A and B are shown apart, each in its own frame.
Chain A
Amino acid sequence: GENVEQHPSTLSVQEGDSAVIKCTYSDSASNYFPWYKQELGKRPQLIIDIRSNVGEKKDQRIAVTLNKTAKHFSLHITETQPEDSAVYFCAAYPSNTGNQFYFGTGTSLTVIP
């Protein structure tokens, strides 16, 4: 099945700096890549997603890029704020292997005021 790797596992940045989280996937049939933010004690919530027919997507301070050839996608957060501190998960969805999402192991982001 699909294998999603996520790096780094922890990330600390100064407020106002940018943060980048990277994920790689193995199944070329994956065609949907969501990113989730999970605050302490809360449920994961979708913050941005991208489909395989698109190379980049932006939503205010958040952007996701996808490189299908290299099988990797990245989350970019600009002008980080303390409220961005959370665990971020990437996921991949292979369209041909049983309707499952495969998640990365998460990145704990800390934004230092």
Chain B
Amino acid sequence: NAGVTQTPKFRVLKTGQSMTLLCAQDMNHEYMYWYRQDPGMGLRLIHYSVGEGTTAKGEVPDGYNVSRLKKQNFLLGLESAAPSQTSVYFCASSTRFKAGGSTDTQYFGPGTRLTVL
């Protein structure tokens, strides 16, 4: 049981290049999330998904796209990278709490450190 995994761990891009970050979870979780973490700003939600085939925008979605074609995978794409997207990206997943419309523990992946030159 690997939990939440992310690939790659590190990446350096030039401005204008594109890339895709992959998140995979083996806990059969319905919900998956992409966050970015910048110094002094905590974790900010980029996009999230409440199930296979569904996605929604978070707090900072501009410049990113996502897809959830399979329940266990959540992809984050940067079509044209900019220096402002230099950050550490975390994927997370959680399951729906069975009662009360709440959620259960959110598990994080190890992160991807992205630098855009």
* A, B: real partners: yes
Binary interface encoding of chain A residues 55-77 relative to chain B, with 1 for a CB under 8 A from any of its CBs, else 0: 00000000000000000000000
Number of A interface residues at 8 Å Cβ cutoff, please give it.
Answer: 26
Q: In the complex, what residue of chain A is closest to B51 when comparing beta carbons?
A: A99
Bound Cα distance from A7 to B48, whole angstroms: 27
Interface centre among A46, A89, A101, A105 (most CB of B within 10 A): A101
CB distance from B105 to the nearest CB of A (A): 5
Bound Cα distance from A101 to B46, whole angstroms: 12
Given the known interface contacts A32-B97, A44-B90, A46-B106, the answer about A103 and B48 at a Cβ–Cβ threshold of 8 Å is no
**Which residues of chain B are near A91, meaning CB under 8 Å?**
106
Given the known interface contacts A44-B43, A44-B90, the answer about A99 and B48 at a Cβ–Cβ threshold of 8 Å is yes
Given the known interface contacts A32-B97, A44-B43, the answer about A98 and B56 at a Cβ–Cβ threshold of 8 Å is yes
Interface centre among B42, B48, B109 (most CB of A within 10 A): B42
Which of A46, A93, A106 is in CB contact (< 8 Å) with B42? A106
Interface centre among B33, B44, B45, B102 (most CB of A within 10 A): B102
Q: A32-B97, A32-B102, A43-B90 are in contact. List 17 more A-B contacts (CB 8 A).
A: A6-B42, A31-B101, A34-B105, A34-B106, A43-B111, A44-B90, A89-B43, A93-B102, A95-B102, A99-B31, A99-B48, A100-B33, A100-B45, A101-B45, A101-B103, A103-B44, A106-B42
